[in-house]
Structure 1
Amino acid sequence: MKKKAKALSLALAGVMMLSLAACSGKAPEKTEAPADTTAAQSSESAGGTETTAAKTADGKQYKIGVLQLVQHTALDASNKGFIQALDDAGLNYTVDQQNASGDQPTCQTIASKLVNDGDDLILAIATPAAQAVAGATSEIPVLVTAVTDPAASDLVESNDMPGGNISGTSDLTPVKEQISLLKKILPDAKTVGILYCTAESNSEIQAKMAKEAIEAAGMTAVDYTVSSSNEIQTVVTSMVGKVDAIYAPTDNTIAAGMATVAMIANENKLPTICGEDGMVKAGGLATYGIDYYELGYLTGLQAVKILTEDADVSQMPIEYLPLEKCKLSVNEETAKALGIDLSGLK
């Protein structure tokens, strides 16, 4: 009798839920991250997006805020991977997707909004976005991704033991291996220009690592920096005739403006080795880099532990993708335009 009564209760509850859905006029919508071709803009600039995942058995629903610095392939992929991990875990949540369009003041405005909304967890994608959220809350659990060195960026006490309300994943790329790739493709290269944005601590760390690797390989490294995307065309043009190759790390400003970099570099037969696959697809020559979708997925798994297992974010180490997760990526069209044979790399 107890089993029959329980079954009847569940059936009646199901009917009531269906009736409520019919009254609302729509069923719950499953969450999706922004597609590679469309960014979810901030509510201040272009309207944020908020969607709801299907309900799970425990009925608890979590509010998650996402602040992405800018739209480009790598950050979009990490966003998508994060959301997929939540879905695969069957998490019941709403997500407020916000994009700052590369503007730091907008990052701060959005960070304050997400904190004031009382989110259960905030994801910050890229270093400037993470710094904005870190400055807005010391209580809400915050996960960061696409940040090279959270400790060096003053986001955590240490990468092994964050010690506060922030943890996440690092997109530290195999810089030494990328410079080795450059040397293999361009054995006669003598001078390498390192192209990055000085506004990103993430990039300064990689630039220093690249300089050490370039000099260790017997070449000369020269920094070419921009403070904003408006300077990319001028700076890249100034590199022509002065360097034999360009190295561009996983810099968000350069990645977003990679089409401009490639246009000038390729027209002047100047090969560009990039920090990540999206930059190669945008016209760079090659990279040996991490998979940002996998990085975002790893961050999503951390979120699940925090929300459903009460994992202590202060004790959660910054995680990294293993070297075997890195992959070679080449742009055959760019190689053809530059007259470079990459067949030996396959």
Structure 2
Amino acid sequence: MKKILAGMVCGSLMLLSACGSDSSTSGGEEKVVKIGITQIVEHPSLDAAREGFIAALNDAGYEEGKNLKIDYQNAQGDMNNNMTIAQNLVTNDSDLILAIATASAQSVVQSTKDIPILFTGITDPLGAGLVQNLEKPGANVTGTSDTHPDAIKNTIASIKKFIPEAKTVGIIYNDGEANSVVNVDNAKKALEENGLEYALSAISTSSEVKQAAESLVGRADVFYIPKDNTVVSALESVITVANVEKIPTFVGESDSVKRGTFSSYGFEYHDLGYTTGKMAVDILEGKNPGDIPVGFPESLELIVNKQAAEAQGVEVTEEMLKDAKVVGE
């Protein structure tokens, strides 16, 4: 009888101990959220978008090492790597995936219909086949586009205003990047509306960028570099040619002006990433991605680099700077 009672007491204690242990695991520990981030290539604008995204998560209480695990992978411009990364992030059971740039987003969207996907740094979400509707994307995908409706036309108009003697604009772009093709098509229309001609130099890898810039010397009065991930990742090659040959260089986004080009109408990619991060918080708290409208830049500003202006043979005037954010002083 004593043996039976001892066994019952021991069993009860073991049961209580097990229950206490389960309670500690389920109730005492915060769930760790796993977010995969895929980025097509490194350059300051895309990096800033990623940093803004993470900042928004941090501000909402998600911190790496506590309740957040981030798996960041960069394809380094390689399309095979890009698809492999997308598939790996899906099989690694991510709670949410952020895709930075069009090619990255397309690969992730092809790889899963179940995991919530956010994109940022996308020129044309509809044309890229990422969503069917900007206001109500549906399915498991939404995010932010980096296309401000006035950015390209304002930048092209400033070429005419700042460099009135210019007749031909040289454009370097990767004709295999869907986002770049859209930007170049829009630039062509804006150039024609401003009475400017254009000379195109298409590339497929970043190693070809310097040669492309050199091929435009003597054919172009100014350079225009669109939002092209391949070219922007090797932007210093363009800047080197522009400075030696005194060719004013206009670009598609502000971060490239800070790196040493002359001017652009743009916005801060960190802000765009931060907006995307706030979307992520909503999704992690239960909102359906397909019910969140695609976001766009809310502001646009002229930015001018004074050092680059001097290096590229541009005489900076007070009129030119009166409404501009000035860098490189």
Gaps of 5+ in 1: 1-12, 21-56
CA distance in 1, matches of 2:171, 2:137: 31
The 2-side partners of 1:58 and 1:317 are apart by 33
In the TM superposition, what is the alpha-carbon distance from 1:163 to its structure 2 partner?
A: 2.2
Counterpart CA distance in 1 for 2:172 and 2:135 is 30
8 A Cα contact 1:263 1:283, kept in partner: no
Q: What aligned pairs does 1:263-274 form with structure 2 within 5 A after superposition?
A: 263-274=240-251
Separation of aligned partners in 1, 2:266 and 2:108 = 27
Q: Which residue of 2 aligns with 1:107?
A: 82
Match of 2:294 among 308, 314, 318: 318
Q: Deviations over 1:265-319 (max 9, x none)?
A: 22111111001122122221111102100000000010011111x2111122211
**2:238 aligned with 1:238:** no
The residue aligned with 1:59 is 30
Kept after mapping to 1: 8 A contact 2:152/2:186: yes
Give the whole-Å Cα distance in 2 for the aligned partners of 1:155 and 1:93.
Answer: 26
* CA offsets 1:207-243 (integer angstroms, 9 cap, x no match): 1111111110111123221111122122111101111
Match of 1:335 in 2: 309
- Is the 1:156–1:166 contact (alpha carbons within 8 Å) kept by the matching residues of 2? yes
Corresponding letter in the other structure for 1:76: D
SS in 2 for 1:235: helix
Residues of 1 paired with 2:60 and 2:45: CA distance? Answer: 23
**Compared CA separation, residues 197 and 96, structure 1 to 2 (3 A):** same
CA contact (8 A) 2:38 2:98 kept: yes
**Which secondary structure does the structure 1 equivalent of 2:83 belong to?**
helix
CA distance in 2, matches of 1:84, 1:345: 34
Alignment of 1:139-150 (within 5 A): 139-150=114-125
- Give the SS at the match of 2:50: helix
Q: 1:330 to 1:58 in 2, by over 3 A?
A: farther
Counterpart contact for 2:247–2:313, Cα < 8 Å: no
For 1:289, give the aligned amino acid: G
- Structure 2 counterpart of 1:317, one-letter code: P
Tell whether 2:140 aligns with 1:165. yes
Match of 2:161 in 1: 184
d(CA) in 2 for partners of 1:261 and 1:338? 12
Q: Considering Cα pairs closer than 8 Å and 6+ residues apart, tell me whether 1 or 2 has the greater RCO.
A: 2
**Partner AA of 2:239 in structure 1:** A
What SS does the aligned partner of 2:153 have?
A: helix
Q: Distance in 2 between matches of 1:253 and 1:331?
A: 22
Look up the SS of the partner of 2:211 in the other structure: helix
Q: Is the 8 A contact 1:291 1:327 kept in 2?
A: no
Q: Is the 8 A contact 1:288 1:329 kept in 2?
A: yes
Residue 60 of structure 1 and its aligned partner are, at CA, apart by 3.0
1:254 and 1:237 map into 2 onto residues whose CA distance is 14
TM-score computed with the length of structure 2 as normaliser:
0.84
- In structure 1, distance between residues paired with 2:259 and 2:106: 27
CA distance in 2, matches of 1:320, 1:82: 15
1:70 Cα deviation from its structure 2 partner: 1.2
2:50 alignment counterpart: 79
| Alpha-carbon RMSD | 1.9
Given that 1:157 and 1:164 are in contact with CA atoms closer than 8 Å, whether structure 2 keeps it comes out as no
- CA contact under 8 A between 2:242 and 2:312: conserved in structure 1? no
Following superposition, the deviation at residue 164 of structure 1 comes to 2.0
Distance 1:108 1:317 in 2: 26
In the TM superposition, residue 98 of structure 1 has moved relative to its aligned partner by: 1.1
Deviation, structure 1 residue 58: 8.8
Q: Comparing 153-162 with 285-294, which one deviates more in the overlay?
A: 153-162
Query: Is the contact made by 1:196 and 1:254 (CA closer than 8 Å) also made in structure 2?
Result: yes
Match of 2:37, as an amino acid?
V
Q: Deviations over 1:169-199 (max 9, x none)?
A: 0011411111112122111211112221112
Provide the rounded CA distance (Å) in 1 between the counterparts of 2:250 and 2:36.
34
1:155 aligns with 2:130: yes
SS in structure 2 of the partner of residue 320 of structure 1: coil
CA drift of 1:61 comes to 2.5
Q: Relative to 1, partners in 2 of residues 1:197 and 1:155: Cα closer, same or farther, differing over 3 Å?
A: same
Q: How far does residue 245 in structure 1 lie from its aligned partner after superposition?
A: 1.0
Write the distance in 2 (CA, Å) between the matches of 1:345 and 1:211: 24
Which residue of 2 is the match for residue 8 of structure 1? none
Could you tell me the percent identity over the aligned residues?
Answer: 41
CA distance in 2, matches of 1:131, 1:64: 18
